[in-house]
Structure 1
């Protein structure tokens, strides 16, 4: 990699780590960046996943105060994320590369749509919770939350863009808890998916370790920035950047 490529990927890693800690969808920053520098789609996805994993740990550590008292919930839902992430990673490796090239533009577009509609979804979740009053959802989650987290894990292990948004939608509707504390759980669950997928990819896939190292450094820094400063950043600006990059990636993937 040239110095320019290294710098661009490092900055993308910082942005992705920050966005993943606060919103999710950091893959919509790093994945298109790798594609822009000519990295093959599957290699880009695999290397990106492995590189972002340390950033997930960084974000989870940054939200450790919000995790207090949630050990049972994290362990229970973590099993679903572990199983789902494993299935998703295996699917990525088993399905033909042509299938990935066909599916990824759809997933990118889905991620963009999820980022766009997330504020409206969050408002509806808050209003619905307020109208139902305390006790409307089980403290450990409604019955459908576990399989929904499992399905989100499959998606995250396969690609992962907007995995955090999906998780927040599931947790926000199905678990009676403050959104900031749920965001802390989201970081752990997303990190679990990224971690198990990373183990699978390292064992059997074509990982570009130079890319991994650069993204990992950026994502760790970004995870801390997102955890400490993300709540003060204008959400509209973050969302606009994600949508712009994601839309560009969709166009490039479809036309390329």
Structure 2
């Protein structure tokens, strides 16, 4: 890894970590940027998991310290997500670069729309009813959450928030504590698939993880004093440009 690539990946990581705190969707920057730096799509996908794991492990520790963690319920949802993520990661490893890039470019635009309009925040929480039909429904939903997370990951947090809001009626803080645990578990299993298939660039991945950690720290401090509107505007321009470039990359 050259000095230029180290500085560039670190900078992208800082920007992604900052955006994750301010608006969400940092992976919309990191994954395509790793591809633009010359990594095959599967390698970029696997490399991106290092930063994701680092972020979620830190978040788990924070929620646990705050007393918001529900280990039993979180583990219940993490199991089907873990199984699904293995399938999703295997699909990503087996897919051609061209097809993956096209799919990623479309997903980026969809997730960007979700970030802007925030439909998940307009959902009404259901009454808390701990019934088996609801639990079975959640298990099925989180299996597919795992498949998607293992495949691409970008924007999966919005899906989890929407599902848990509609079905459980839990507070947003508790929902986020469950989200980071589930994502950490299935990201680990997906990461193993990428490692087994030799689809991880460790130098880029560790550098990216350091960058996202710095960015998250800076973003959390900035968020207290400023709004996120201008961050969203920058994200819109960057993601649309990257999505167009990815879609037409091989044309």
Shorter-chain TM-score: what band?
Answer: 0.7 to 0.9
Shift of 1:197: 1.0
Q: Contact conserved, 2:69 with 2:178, CA < 8 A, in 1?
A: no
After superposition, the Cα gap between the structure-2 partners of 1:70 and 1:235, relative to the gap in structure 1 and judged at 3 Å, is: farther
1:169-184 aligned within 5 A? 169-184=162-177
- Determine the structure 1 residue equivalent to 2:129: 138
- Determine the structure 2 residue equivalent to 1:149: 142
1:91-240 aligned within 5 A? 91-118=91-118, 120-122=119-121, 124-125=122-123, 128-129=124-125, 136-138=127-129, 142-143=134-135, 144-223=137-216, 229=221, 232=224, 234-240=227-233
Question: Equivalents in 2 of 1:37, 1:140: separation in Å?
Answer: 48
**Offset from partner CA, 1:48-104 (integer Å, 9 cap, x none):** 123432222112222324553512211111112211211111111233334323322
- Determine the structure 2 residue equivalent to 1:77: 77
**Offset from partner CA, 1:207-234 (integer Å, 9 cap, x none):** 21111120122234445556x5476352
Q: Contact conserved, 2:68 with 2:177, CA < 8 A, in 1?
A: no
Is the aligned partner of 1:248 residue 2:241? yes
Output the TM-score relative to the length of structure 1: 0.83
After superposition, the Cα gap between the structure-2 partners of 1:15 and 1:182, relative to the gap in structure 1 and judged at 3 Å, is: farther
Q: Contact conserved, 2:109 with 2:239, CA < 8 A, in 1?
A: yes
Q: Contact conserved, 1:47 with 1:209, CA < 8 A, in 2?
A: yes
- Determine the structure 1 residue equivalent to 2:3: 3
Name the SS of the counterpart of 1:76 in structure 2.
helix
Output the TM-score relative to the length of structure 2: 0.85
RMSD (Å) for aligned C-alpha atoms: 2.6
Name the SS of the counterpart of 1:12 in structure 2.
helix
Name the SS of the counterpart of 1:68 in structure 2.
coil
Shift of 1:238: 4.0
Question: Equivalents in 2 of 1:153, 1:67: separation in Å?
Answer: 26
Question: Equivalents in 2 of 1:150, 1:195: separation in Å?
Answer: 15
Residue ranges of structure 2 left out of the alignment (5+ in a row) = none
Q: Contact conserved, 1:81 with 1:149, CA < 8 A, in 2?
A: yes
Question: Equivalents in 2 of 1:62, 1:77: separation in Å?
Answer: 20
Q: Contact conserved, 2:50 with 2:206, CA < 8 A, in 1?
A: no
Q: How many residues align?
A: 246
Name the SS of the counterpart of 1:63 in structure 2.
helix
Shift of 1:182: 0.9
